[in-house]
Each structure stands twice: as C-alpha cells, then as structure tokens.
A and B are shown apart, each in its own frame.
Chain A
C-alpha cells in the first residue's frame, strides 16, 4: 500500500473537482481524500461543502458517520483486526489481550509514532480462516499469537 501523502490543498481541490459531478459524489470524494492523505483533513470540509452545494455541517455529518474516515493521519502500519462473532469463536479477544500485555498496543487507541496501529473491524469475510485481519489492506488469516508477534516485529514504524 502506498504511503499517504501530506495534506495538500491543491491536490485535494483537484480530487474534489474530478468527482463533484458524479451522482452521490460525497462518498467517492471522501474516499479519494482518505486514500491520498490517509485521513480527511478539516480543511477539506468547507471545500466539499462548496463543491456539492451543501452545508459544512452536512459534510461533517457524513464524515463522522462512517467508521473509515479518520480525522488525523496515521503513521506506521495499520492492522484491522476482526472482532466479530466468527473471529471471537477462534480467540480474537485473546489476541487483543496479548497485544496489550506483550506489546503495549491498545486496540483503537491512537498513539502517535507507534509502528503499528490496531483497529477493530467487524467482519472481513474470511470467517473460515479466523481470526482474520487486514494488514495495510492485505488479508491475513489463521492468526495466532506467533503470527501477531511477527506482525508487530516487522512493523515499519513512522518515517524518520
């Protein structure tokens, strides 16, 4: 997965402009911003409101509704760990406890500069090979403590 670029108002403006005429453009625009910058910068909200002729409050309402859209950038690797029922049945909560106890990594807590961010997701459609996760967008299955340890060890950390 490509590293996120730093916030760039000009690039954001062109991403918005390319998509403003699509039907139901808000989500495609927000997705494009999130994919480019790794989050949706506050400065984008009035730009989107202007482009789509809706209020800033409405844009904020959309951004805050969906779990995917982040309010601040994330450095390092992102592990989206599934914590839904099928993964529960194979011990995903044990992995959550292990991450905290062994690696000091708390799920869904942002810690700037940490090499690995672990986020909760509910279902990745890999329920026969659970516990499952997405590591920087790539699927990982049959997770166990050993594989989690390896993921933490190999996490690349923030750029210098």
Chain B
C-alpha cells in the first residue's frame, strides 16, 4: 500500500531546508523499496516546527518536526509511515494545542490541501461560497458582506461591504477588482502563506467581489520580495482558467471574470492603495489625494474594489455560511476572525487565527510561549512598522480595532513582533523615521522632510543636546506628520515613535546616564 507523506513547500519551510527533506525522504523510500507519495502542501503556520512533515494515517495526519535531512533515516527506522514513535513525533497534527485552540475559518484549508489541486480544493469545501454567490446575485452578496461586519484586513479597517456597495452603485463601462498583496509590514506573512498554501480561496473571493460589483477584470499586485508566492499564484490562475473558475463563464454562469498577477518592484509605499494603483498603471508609486475614492475613480480612472488578500479571501466563507455566522465571532465593532502573525523573538512563531478581541498577552504568552532568546520580554510591536510598541503593562489590551486605537496603537495587518530586553526603543524610534524617509513616495512634505528631521531629532535627544527642547520639538513634529501627511506612511510613523517615547522613556535619556544605568 502506498503511504502519503506531506512536506510543505511554503517559502518559510523552504528557507529551512524543506526541499532537502523531501528529497531525502524520496531517496530513503527508494532505498528501502517502499512506495511513498510525497505531497507538497502549504504550511500549517507552526513555523518553529518547520519543516513539519506529516504522514497520512487511519487516525488522520500525524506530525513530525522540525525535521532536518539528517533525521530522515531515523524516521524510517522508527516506522514513521505507520506512526512510529520518534523523538520528533508530535502526534495527530489537529491535536497540537497551538492549532487546536485556534478558530480557523480563513486558514481552514491552508497546510492541508495541495495548493494547486482544484480537486483537493473542492473536496475541502472550496467553491461553495462562489456557487451561492452566483445563485443569490449581486444585491444579496453585498447584504451578506455588510451583515458579516468584515472590515479591511490590510490595516485600514474600512467595512468591506460598504466598499463593494459603493462600486456596485456606480455606472461604468468597465470596473476592476484589485487585490493588494503588497504585504510589506514586518512581522506579517498571512497573505504570503495563503497565496502559497491555498491560492484558490483568494481567486474565489475575488470572483465573488467581481460578481457583486459587475467587474470583469482583476489584478493581484504581489510584492517582488515574494517570488514563490508569485509563482504559485500565477500557476493557480492558469489552473483556475482551465477549470472554468475564471474566464468568460465562471462556474458556467453568465459572469465573466479573469485575473492577472503583477509583480511589484520593491517599494513599501505601494501597499498604500492609491500608490498601488499608480504602480499598476505603470507610474511611480506616488500616493494620490482622496477624493476621488478608488471606488469611484480607481484603476485607469474606473470604479475599483481594492482590498487586501485576507479581505477577499474571507468572502468565500461568508457567502457559504452567511454573514451572520461570521459576525458571531469577534467583539464590539470588530467582527470575525483575524489571522494574527507571531514573529520576531518568540519561541512559537506562526500564524494564529482567532476571533478579534483576543489579548496581546494571550497571543504572545499562551500561543507564543514568550521570547525565544531566554531573556525577558520587553516590548511587543503590533501592526507592522507603523504600529506601536507596547510594554508588559499594556499586554492585556484586546486586539480589536477600537481597543487598539484607545491604547494609541493600531491592529494593522495583525503582525505581532516580540522583543527581548536587549532592545533599545530610542533606536527603534529612530528606525521608524529612517524607514519612513527611505520609503516615502516624496509627494507630501511632512513625510518626505519630517521623517529626516525626526531621525535627527532623536539623535539629538539621545546625545543630550537641548533635551527638553528637542523632546517638545519631536512631539510637535509627530503632530504635523499625523495631521498633515497624505497617507498612512507619514500619518502613522508617529505611532512607533510616540509609543516608544511614552512607554519606554528611560531609553531616551542622554547616553552617559544610560551607560551608567546598565
């Protein structure tokens, strides 16, 4: 009987030798004359266990990890194909607490299916949302999206249903669906994982949006730092066309829709929606003033739905199960689930999908297991490079849009980066300005000039030059950036800066005092 072994081809797994592990398993099986099929799945998102090898068994899949090529012979020796005991055996994958304690709606299939198999996708519940969307028609699709309470998962948190309704209400000869897959925030990888591990969910979600608003063409803008995601997604589009999921009659309906994947060219700012549209149109990725909203005049001046990967990918679940079921998850005005991403100096880094409203502490401590270096946790940055640094005293803040705002932070794209006590928050504040200066599109003055002046001012404070005066200047500069910038890059750079200053002011004292204190 043939055995099936899963070895992920997610790029995080590949970065720690998954390819060599797969080759070693194939070779060892041949050597032993065993019939082994090696299936390549996406990642389950338990990255500290990568490469995570799974074996199909009567009790479901059994996990072993992290596996190095050198472990392979001993796995066979232990009879892992029949679930044999091994030092790296983790038992049934679904029973691993990290996975079992999650609420996976959006990532339900990721790491389970073979990413490019439409049959596998259907077997695991794929295309049911799209089938229902075709059946109920545009107004009812939008009603479901509104009822779900889904808010933009890219970071801005604008209600997705409202956006779709706006585009649906505009008359135009051409409308576009644009997916923002320019996932540039440090500490985030959910978009990448989904595109590599379950790409048809994104295609299905975009097709649902297209039907809802009457668009026939879609673009997915993928950052160039994600070469594997781009390759997988392009292959998925091709297969979707062949299977009739894209094309002139999607799922044999009257609706036409096709998607083109475009590769970015290394510009963080292109994650800002208007800058992304400029880039897609073939120009410098400079931010546009709003209004007009992209929903009215977006790509090539046409009404455009532009959403993050996770927002589109939530649509199939919402359409299949109903907006009301989705809204049962979450708290306050933050409905549904959020794929949180645990990263940086953390023992159990990975993807944790939970209803909105879980606390930072639950993620960092219960799921993450604390810092990896063995030192003391000092700061947690939530929401990417434009998110705030939180000290231990604020870790009980719930991760929802409103609670994060109230704590002077933002949820962003759900990235959570842990730092131990070797971190210098004045240096992080300076980096926030440096990053803003490097990635600024240059269109508005507060961002272009203010970021450079900000870095200089932090330097002066740390050097003890007219400290009080410069601290006041720094706060004033942050107010100008917040109020006067055209987009979120300049507008939110003050979050990491001011949170560092407010929560870790001891790091901003003059250098000699800091040395003495250590």
Interface residues of A in 130-149 (CB under 8 A from B): 130, 132, 134, 137-142
Contacts of A65 in B (CB 8 A): 267, 284-286, 441
Do the beta carbons of B15 and A140 come within 8 Å of each other? yes
Task: Flag whether A52 is at the interface (Cβ < 8 A).
Answer: yes
Q: Which of B227, B262, B350 contacts A137 (CB 8 A)?
A: B227
User: Is A47's beta carbon under 8 Å from chain B?
Assistant: no
Q: Give the segment of A9-17, A97-105, A120-128, A151-159 that binds chain B.
A: A120-128
Q: Give the CA-CA distance A127 to B342 in the complex, in Å.
A: 8
Mask of B176-189 contacts with A, CB within 8 angstroms, 1/0: 00000001111111
Digit string of A14-35 for contact with B (CB within 8 Å is 1, else 0)?
A: 0000000001111110110000
Contact of B266 among A58, A68, A90 (CB under 8 A): A68
A125 B11 Cβ-Cβ under 8 A: yes
Cβ of B93 within 8 Å of any chain A Cβ, yes or no, is no
CB atoms of B15 and A121 under 8 A apart:
no
Instruction: Count chain A residues whose beta carbon lies closer than 8 angstroms to a beta carbon of B.
Output: 44
In the complex, which residues 42-89 of chain B have their Cβ closer than 8 Å to any Cβ of chain A?
47-48, 50
Chain-A contact segment, one of B417-425, B445-453, B485-493? B417-425
Q: Check B475 for interface membership: any CB of A closer than 8 A.
A: no
User: Among the interface residues B47, B265, B286, B428, which one has the most CB atoms of the partner chain A within 10 A?
Assistant: B265
Kindly state whether residue B480 has any CB partner on chain A within 8 Å: no
Let me know if B192 and A125 touch, CB within 8 A.
yes
Contact of B349 among A84, A129, A138 (CB under 8 A): A129
- Smallest CB–CB gap between A56 and chain B, Å? 15
Give a binary string over A72-107; 1 marks a CB under 8 Å from any B CB, 0 the rest. 000000001010111111100000000000000000
Min CB distance, B419 to chain A, in Å? 5
Q: Is B188 a contact of A125 with CB atoms below 8 Å?
A: yes
A139 to B9, CA, bound (A): 11
Q: Are A89 and B265 in contact (CB under 8 A)?
A: no
- Kindly state whether residue B476 has any CB partner on chain A within 8 Å: no
- In the complex, which residues of chain A have a beta carbon less than 8 angstroms from the beta carbon of B423? 89
Is B12 interfacial (CB 8 A cutoff)?
yes
Q: What residues of B have a CB within 8 angstroms of the CB of A132 in the complex?
A: 15
Tell whether B471 is near chain A: CB-to-CB under 8 Å. no
On whether the beta carbons of A84 and B346 are closer than 8 Å, the reply is no
Q: Is residue A67 within 8 Å, beta carbon to beta carbon, of the partner chain?
A: yes
Whether B279 sits at the interface, judged by CB under 8 Å, is: yes
Which residue, B12, B263, B385, has most C-beta atoms of chain A within 10 A?
Answer: B12
Chain B residues, Cβ within 8 Å of A71: none
Report the Cα distance A61→B443, complex, angstroms.
13
In the complex, what residues of A have CB within 8 A of residue B372's CB? Answer: 90
Task: Judge whether B239 is part of the interface by a CB distance below 8 angstroms.
Answer: no
Which one of A23, A86, A88, A141 contacts B300 once the chains associate, using CB atoms below 8 Å?
A23
Is the Cβ of A127 less than 8 Å from the Cβ of B265? no
CB contacts (< 8 Å) of B189 on chain A: these are: 125-128
Q: Please name all residues of chain B whose beta carbon is closer than 8 Å to the beta carbon of A142 when the two chains form the complex.
A: 15-16
Q: Does the CB pair A126–B15 fall under 8 Å?
A: yes
Interface string of B413-442 (1 = CB under 8 A from A): 001011110010000100100010001010
Q: Give CA–CA (A27, B263) in the complex, Å.
A: 8
User: Is residue B226 within 8 Å, beta carbon to beta carbon, of the partner chain?
Assistant: yes
Give the docked Cα–Cα distance between A123 and B11 (Å).
13
B14 at the interface (CB under 8 A from A): yes
User: Is the beta-carbon distance between A27 and B265 smaller than 8 angstroms?
Assistant: yes
Do B419 and A89 touch across chains, with their CB atoms under 8 A apart? yes
A69 contacts partner chain B, Cβ-Cβ < 8 Å: yes
Is residue B225 within 8 Å, beta carbon to beta carbon, of the partner chain?
A: yes
Complex CA–CA separation, A67 to B438 (angstroms): 10
User: Would A139 and B345 count as touching, CB distance under 8 A?
Assistant: no
CB pair A67–B282 under 8 Å, yes or no, is: no
**Which residues from chain A contact B342 at a C-beta distance below 8 Å?**
128
Expressed in whole angstroms, the minimum distance between the Cβ of A59 and any Cβ of chain B is: 10
Partner of A134 from the list B12, B227, B345 (CB cut-off 8 Å) is B227
Task: Name the contact of B282 in the complex, choosing from A52, A86, A89, A137 (C-beta under 8 A).
Answer: A52
B324 within 8 A of A: no
Q: Which residues of A contact B186 (CB under 8 A)?
A: 82, 84-87, 122-123, 127
Is A62 part of the contact surface with B, judged by Cβ < 8 Å?
Answer: yes
Say yes or no for B201: interface residue by CB 8 A criterion: no
Establish whether residues A90 and B282, one from each chain, have CB atoms under 8 Å apart when the complex forms: no
**CA A27 to CA B285, docked complex, whole Å:** 11
Question: Across the interface, which residues of A come within 8 angstroms of B229, CB to CB?
Answer: 125
The contact of A122 among B48, B184, B284, by CB within 8 Å, is: B184
- B431: which A residues are within 8 A, CB to CB? 85, 88
Please tell me if the beta carbons of B12 and A129 are within 8 angstroms of each other in the complex.
Answer: yes
What CA separation (Å) do A156 and B188 show in the bound complex?
Answer: 32
If A27-B279, A68-B224, A68-B266 touch, whether A129 touches B16 (CB-CB below 8 Å) is yes
- Interface code B344-375, partner A: CB below 8 Å = 1, 0 otherwise? 11100110000000000000000000001000
- For the complex, give the distance between the alpha carbons of A123 and B157 in Å: 22
Q: Which residues of A contact B268 (CB under 8 A)?
A: 122
B470 within 8 A of A: no
Does the CB pair B343–A134 fall under 8 Å? Answer: no
- CB <8 Å contact, A86 and B344: yes
Q: Across the interface, which residues of B come within 8 angstroms of A88, CB to CB?
A: 428, 431
Q: Is the CB of A139 within 8 A of B343?
A: no
- Nearest Cβ on chain B to A129's Cβ, whole angstroms: 6
Tell me, rounded to whole Å, the shortest Cβ–Cβ distance linking B347 to chain A: 10
Query: Which of A62, A85, A122, A124 has the most chain B CB atoms closer than 10 A to its own CB?
Result: A85
Q: Could you jot down 28 A-B contacts, CB within 8 Å? A: A26-B282, A27-B263, A27-B280, A65-B285, A65-B441, A66-B264, A67-B267, A68-B224, A68-B265, A68-B266, A82-B186, A84-B435, A85-B384, A85-B417, A90-B345, A90-B372, A122-B184, A122-B186, A123-B187, A123-B188, A124-B225, A125-B183, A125-B225, A127-B349, A129-B50, A130-B343, A138-B14, A141-B12
Besides A27-B262, A31-B263, A125-B226, 8 other A-B contacts (C-beta < 8 A): A24-B281, A24-B282, A68-B264, A87-B344, A124-B225, A125-B11, A128-B12, A142-B16
Q: Which A residues form the contact surface with B (CB < 8 A)?
A: 23-28, 30-31, 52, 58, 61-62, 65-69, 80, 82, 84-90, 121-130, 132, 134, 137-142
Q: 8 closest pairs, A vs B, by CB?
A: A128-B349, A141-B15, A26-B282, A84-B186, A127-B343, A67-B266, A66-B265, A139-B15
